[in-house]
Amino acid sequence: MAEKIRERAYAKLNLTLDVLGKLPNGYHDLAMVMESVELGDDVDITARNDGEIHLNSNLPWLPKDGRNLAVEAVKVFRTAIGDESLGADIYLRKRIPVGAGMAGGSTNAAAVLRALNRYTNRPFNADRLRELGLKIGSDVPYCVCGGSRLAEGQGEILSPLPMPPECHVVICKPGFSISTGELFKKIDERSSRIRPDTPGLIAAMEQKDVAGMARRLYNVFEDVLPRNLREVGELKSRFLDQGALGTVMTGTGSAVFGIFDDYDKAADASVELGEYCRDVFLTKFVDEIEI
């Protein structure tokens, strides 16, 4: 029996998110400042030599077949190393809320790639793992190493950024999810939009200016949210009332997070916001993962 490998699958947050247009392959051209946070899932993997892939989770309703990106990651990895007999028993202990815009499925897939790379004595470096990740999903290349990065193109063009200044992050996931496809359609139909000040945000990060960074949080998808999802805006107002320096929706939602420069304020806010959201997390940014 192969040894069980455990990988931490860190959630991601978007400090900025901009949609620049469409690429020739039909995907959207994006520009995003992305950060990993301490909140994450545990991914336990035991390799098999019979080619079978079995997945279980503490969330019994999660797909267990190829619709789950963790399963797809095993298939992509074994094809890359040329060993179709490689299989895996996977257990996902989920903490990242589903349908939140926090790359829960993508970060699980990235954890599987890292674990299998370790099991097979690291045949691939980080760049190659990211290439494999793009075959699975646009967020997977970032999730392979996480950390502080500017992501462009489909999300696969990654440039390292300085770690944000020390601060505290509170994340709230409302009791609804948002259709990614619907938001992209609305973005495509919109002729003009406000764009995030990504260079200014990066400069604030370099200067360790928490307030300057927080002021520049911006996600263009907030501008095209359906009218019936006003709860996102209301949640942002509650964050500011609780002392957040800045707040924004991550990805295509529906999770919203706020940045605080004081732990006690962040802790109090997480309690207060728990009155409105079932899933509330007090966390912090974390550095990139070593391969």
236 catalytic per annotation: no
**Catalytic-labelled residue, pool 12, 94, 173, 236:** 12
Q: Is the peptide bond before 270 cis (omega within 30 degrees of 0)?
A: no
Burial of 168-196, coded b for 16+ CB within 10 Å and e otherwise, reads bbbbbbbeebbeeeebbeebeeeeeeeeb
**Catalytic-labelled residue, pool 18, 139, 173, 236:** 139
The residue type at 9: A
Strand 5-22 with 218-219, pairing: parallel
209 catalytic per annotation: no
In angstroms, the CA 165 to CA 148 distance is 11
Contacts for 287 with CB less than 8 Å, ≥ 6 apart: 36, 147, 148, 163
Strand 256-260 with 246-249, pairing: antiparallel
What positions carry a catalytic annotation? Answer: 12, 139
